[in-house]
Structure 1
């Protein structure tokens, strides 16, 4: 009989990271993936002599020999293999919980979640804390870097971007600082209802202790209601764009203020020189500044980061301007809430040609109607099935078109544009109908735009 081992389900970033950490700590490991493992990950597994399989799971082998299972977040708990593992009562760990087992006792974990803004906020916090050389900081999680792999570097502080799927797999994952930026209707194709999704987000703070800190968006009604519903032990610090708070962060007269529990102003920063725009980014920045203040980071370090910030790739990325027309890549917009802020952040005087669509996640487009009516002159629906988007907005704008090709979407947008217009890709949907992920979708958009302006003959194919 083979010695009982740790089976890691998923051969992507988180799975391979967990495998490397397990190997480092002397465990017997087996990596199993239902699909094809990318070559760069296979190379790592082969180099480290970690056994693996792809294109399917050896179910009988796994349930017979696994002492523990480490599950990648992309694998649904509803698949037959997971149900079988549960029936055999084999413990299943998330990659986050597995990684945390091996951090130093005095390490500090900052976890950021929300329907939108996670990557931007995580990046800002990481960059600010990293400015202080006394702080050893790592960045990982849903942002694209395995937490387990980062644990191998033995950092003092870990900044983690965490999705609802990752939180669903956690049974006792505790953060020293937990942040919920916002909650919007998202992933309703995976969750039974919106309440289940809200509960998933609040799991980020449910395992905290009284000495821990929970930072949250005071303006978000779903978060405020959740605070009444779910028991949170930790100290709460709110932030708001709409209200002057006696405790927490708020904005007044173009300045961000932070007040302590005694109602004393402990931090103030003028927002005029901050290099990224939009209310959504002000929320992200306020959350980041509360963390910076907790760590007592010097203001000069904060300014160094905030005054030189650039939008992250695929998030309101102004990548091309020609003939008075601005092209913006917001492919990372995969829900209605994110598209709302994209449309809202563009000046009222700028007509928008909006490229929208993809794999619908139970979207409710009602909150976009007034914005679309006042700011959008043309809609181009891009997806395999555009029926829902097309039918919803066909009476809101004068021109609405549909296509299944990015090239056609770009050409259509350009044909209907005039100097002073903005062509915005902000899909409000998942990319998985036509593309591998939002990055491929955004890159394809940028590529087709550049092709149009290098080709004298613009034509449909």
Structure 2
């Protein structure tokens, strides 16, 4: 539900920030620099690094509570994307007509930099990082922000970039109104975080398509023609931006496609054509062809040199916790894909490796439908080792497809079990399909514990 008042938010006065993580503290610093009276409130504990930053900046804050009466005096509220709209305090703010916006929305009004914005259910981080890497190699003065890197607001306040590559989540988009992307990318849409969207896929889709709002004729909209939900929703959303689709299933006059020789071909009107064989890509697998197509379209829209793009796409190394190769021990490859917190991410991971796979999965189930994994599990997975608290549905879903399904009581035990179940030539893959908040603080800690356990074998 759009917060109508948010389109008319004030430029001065009392600003409250809800959440004191990376985005919240960055927003607080930018707000202070712009002359707001700033108060930061976090219902949980504030990490030491952020607390010391707030103290050093002279910004008033509280932790382990929300002083509701004080926050309801705010002229403007910047909310952490992790706080749901249904939270009582957010509901009270909106009932009082107080605009509630995201850090990205707040910061964008204070920069003239070009904004290249990437959203989607899967591949966001890889595509964002690849694009950032490509622009850096081209000598572009570029920042990296959003769901990844340093706070966008902090960089707007204290850095001076001409371009930003932003990884944008649906939670951020929900609180964005005036924001305009010079390039908007929707990689794909699959059911995820539906608990935040009343378990209605169309609500989640609508959230993703907010990335198109306010685009102009000189802007670009990049999307996947092979993605069912994107294409189903597309007719309902208009944009003035130039449309640049990408596909692996047909030839296009405008956009990116695969030719019969497995070359990625990129055609944008009035730009030089780009071609590169998929064998030359540093990131292999069908899903990474899509990621490279999306990044390549951004590069060509910016008129980067073909040689620079090829060098970037052939030398980029994937981000930590996303199909990250940890070690090869006794001929067994150990892969850390802890960032795979939904079923579709696991599908991509399984699609990237040949049999035989020992799959470590589980955690906090977000209402997962495991049906789409069954064929791949049947064809490629020889054993499943469950981690976390929600293991019943994994057993129920795959009891007919995997020969072995076992539970573990810790990440160390899970890795040891996987090691015993594997033989030379196998792959042990941590790709959980679930959130991490039962055993771990976040997916990074989960991935780090996996790596520690692997190195201890």
Into which bin does the TM-score normalised by the smaller protein fall? over 0.9
**2:274 pairs with 1:276:** no
- Residue 388 of structure 2 is matched in structure 1 by 383
Give the TM-score taking structure 1 as reference length.
0.93
TM superposition shift of 1:81: 0.9
Of 99, 113, 125, which residue of structure 1 is paired with 2:119? 113
Question: Are the structure 2 counterparts of residues 265 and 159 from structure 1 closer, same or farther at C-alpha, using a change threshold of 3 Å?
Answer: closer
CA distance in 1 between partners of 2:371 and 2:188 (Å): 18
- Residue 328 of structure 1 is matched in structure 2 by 335
**2:57 pairs with 1:57:** no
- 214-223 or 187-196, which deviates more: 187-196
TM superposition shift of 1:310: 1.2
- Residue 164 of structure 2 is matched in structure 1 by 158
- Residue 102 of structure 1 is matched in structure 2 by 110
> Does the Cα contact within 8 Å between 1:93 and 1:169 map onto a contact in 2?
yes
CA distance in 1 between partners of 2:82 and 2:402 (Å): 37
Structure 2, unmatched stretches of 5+, are: 1-11
Does the residue aligned with 2:17 lie in a helix, a strand or coil?
Answer: strand
**2:423 pairs with 1:414:** no
Number of matched pairs: 443
> Does the Cα contact within 8 Å between 1:357 and 1:386 map onto a contact in 2?
yes
- Residue 219 of structure 2 is matched in structure 1 by 212
CA distance in 2 between partners of 1:170 and 1:4 (Å): 20
> Does the Cα contact within 8 Å between 2:268 and 2:301 map onto a contact in 1?
no
TM superposition shift of 1:221: 1.1
> Does the Cα contact within 8 Å between 2:268 and 2:300 map onto a contact in 1?
no
TM superposition shift of 1:369: 0.8
TM superposition shift of 1:4: 4.8
Does the residue aligned with 2:334 lie in a helix, a strand or coil?
Answer: strand
Of 280, 297, 300, which residue of structure 2 is paired with 1:293? 300
CA distance in 1 between partners of 2:23 and 2:223 (Å): 27
- Residue 190 of structure 1 is matched in structure 2 by 196
CA distance in 1 between partners of 2:216 and 2:437 (Å): 39
TM superposition shift of 1:271: 2.6
TM superposition shift of 1:420: 1.2
TM superposition shift of 1:304: 2.7
Does the residue aligned with 2:235 lie in a helix, a strand or coil?
Answer: helix
**2:180 pairs with 1:174:** yes
Of 231, 251, 254, which residue of structure 2 is paired with 1:247? 254
- Residue 426 of structure 1 is matched in structure 2 by 431
CA distance in 1 between partners of 2:412 and 2:46 (Å): 30
Give the TM-score taking structure 2 as reference length.
0.94
CA distance in 1 between partners of 2:70 and 2:197 (Å): 31
CA distance in 1 between partners of 2:315 and 2:273 (Å): 23
CA distance in 2 between partners of 1:172 and 1:4 (Å): 20
Of 117, 137, 142, which residue of structure 1 is paired with 2:142? 137
CA distance in 2 between partners of 1:428 and 1:25 (Å): 41
Structure 1, unmatched stretches of 5+, are: 454-461
Does the residue aligned with 1:112 lie in a helix, a strand or coil?
Answer: strand
- Residue 265 of structure 2 is matched in structure 1 by 257
- 204-213 or 317-326, which deviates more: 204-213
TM superposition shift of 1:403: 2.2
CA distance in 1 between partners of 2:132 and 2:424 (Å): 39
Does the residue aligned with 1:174 lie in a helix, a strand or coil?
Answer: coil
